[in-house]
Each structure stands twice: as C-alpha cells, then as structure tokens.
A = this chain, B = another copy of it.
Amino acid sequence: MSDDTWSPPPVLLTVDLVILTLRESRLHVLLVERAEDPFRGMLALPGGFLNHDGEEILDAAHRELREETALTAGRVHLEQLAVYGDSGRDPRGRVVSVAHLAIAPELPDPIAGTDATDAAWVPVEAVLSGEVELAFDHHRITMDGIERARAKLEFSSLATAFCREEFTIAELQQVYEAVWGTELDTRNFYRKVQAAKGFIVPIGTDRRSTGGRPARLYRAGPKTVLFPPLIRPTPSAPEENTRKEEE
C-alpha cells in the first residue's frame, strides 16, 4: 500500500456478470447485445460502471443483476469471480472489470437493461465452442465462471441455487448433469445427496407428476459445505493436465 507523492493513475472500474441458469435442462448464460460502441451490436456479459462514488462493488453487481433479470437478492447466489484488468482489454482506456458469478433458478425471459438493446439466454455450449463471439475478454470470463460453477458443485451446496425453493432430487440431479455435462446414476445420486447431511431437507409433501411415483420435495438445507462431496466424474481420463492452470 503505497503513499508516494506522485498521484497514482486512476482507473475505471466496471462490474461484469456471468449469470447462469438452467433452461430445459441445459445450462445457459445471460448475454446482452451492446447498444453502444465499442463492440456495438456484439454480444457481451451484462455489467456496467459503478454508478456513483461510494457504491460498493457487490452492490453494483446486485444492481446490474436486478436490472437484467428482475431478480431480487435473496433468491440468487452472487459471488466474486476475478479481476480482469489487462491494459488492452477495453479500447476506451484503462477499464478494470470485477467479474462476478451469479446463479439463478429458471426465470421468465430477460428484460432489456439500460445498457443493452436486447438480452437473451444462450446455451453455454454455444459460447464454449466459440460459435458465438463475445465482446472484450468476455469469452474468457465466461469460461472462468463456468469452471468455477462446475468446481463448486462438488464441495458446496451451490446446486440448490439453480433450483426453485422446493425441488425434487431428480431436479437437483439435472442441475449436476447440465453443469458438468455428464450423466449420473439416479439411484446413487439419490443416496449421495441424502448422505451429505444438511445439504437438502425434506419438506413434508410430494409432487405428483404425469405417470410415475410422486417425488418427495426438498428445500435447501443449512450447510453450504458438502461432506462427503459429490465428486465429478473424470471426463474420460485425467491425463495431460500439464503446466498451465488458470492461475
């Protein structure tokens, strides 16, 4: 923490959001079409500058989340992801972005925010495959956000943030399958989530669906740390993960 006599160069601080949700059992990320230069017309993560001096970074993230999704705090998970500050990332000058990861249950269609002409849920495979191009370094931020979500499903109760207040174990399993991109054994999954005491707690009632036995309903439990964890299946072989590591 320096205190030199010269005035250090100020930077502009933005908040960007990787908002993930499930739609039709597939993982989606919210993207907006930029209404202004730079990158006008291109897809980007929702976000924006801090709106007045003194606004907290986390508050700004909540505000942007509200503006884009009408999600009020409480029913959303929001956490800091990382800072992206490479000098070349924004043509307007030195703009440093504090990226956040948000997890939401399935929502009605998004509303256009102040900075975006349009907003839409995009399947993450379309982003990961490079099929859709994103403004700034938002492609990388999105990948980092997805990887964070994948990793946290193993050891935390984050998965419940994808669900509505009441959910079945089958719905919870769909979360894991969609985020990890794998298939899981229903029977074993059933016991594993119950073995992690405090992860989910049964609500008395059942949910009857078309055909088949009714499923018990659950609510998110008090624990955020899963023990034992739900280890994600190795995609095929954990080989050749040599010297890189996202830092």
Residues of A within 8 A of B (CB): 1-4, 8-14, 16, 34-37, 44-45, 47-57, 79-80, 82-83, 85-87, 90, 94, 96-98, 114-115, 135-136, 156, 198, 222-225, 227, 234, 238, 241-245, 247
Contacts and interface: CB of A to CB of B under 8 A. Distances in A.
Given A45-B1, A79-B247, A94 B224 contact: no
A222 B2 CA distance: 37
Contact of A16 (B1, B90, B97): B1
Nearest to A198: B242
A47 B3 contact: no
Nearest to A37: B3
11 contacts: A1-B48, A1-B97, A2-B114, A8-B51, A10-B11, A11-B11, A53-B94, A55-B87, A57-B83, A85-B98, A224-B244
Q: Is the interface of A mostly helix, strand, loop or mixed?
A: loop
Contacts of A47: 1-2
A159 to B, nearest CB: 14
Given A83-B57, A96-B13, A225 B247 contact: no
Nearest to A242: B222
Contacts of A49: 2, 4, 8-9
Interface centre among A9, A44, A56, A96, by most chain B C-beta atoms within 10 angstroms, is A9
A203 to B, nearest CB: 18
B50 A9 contact: yes
A130 B222 CA distance: 28
Contact of A3 (B10, B86, B115): B115
A82 B14 CA distance: 15
* The 7 nearest A-B residue pairs measured at CB: A2-B48, A10-B10, A8-B49, A3-B36, A225-B241, A224-B245, A227-B238
B227 A242 contact: no
A118 to B, nearest CB: 15
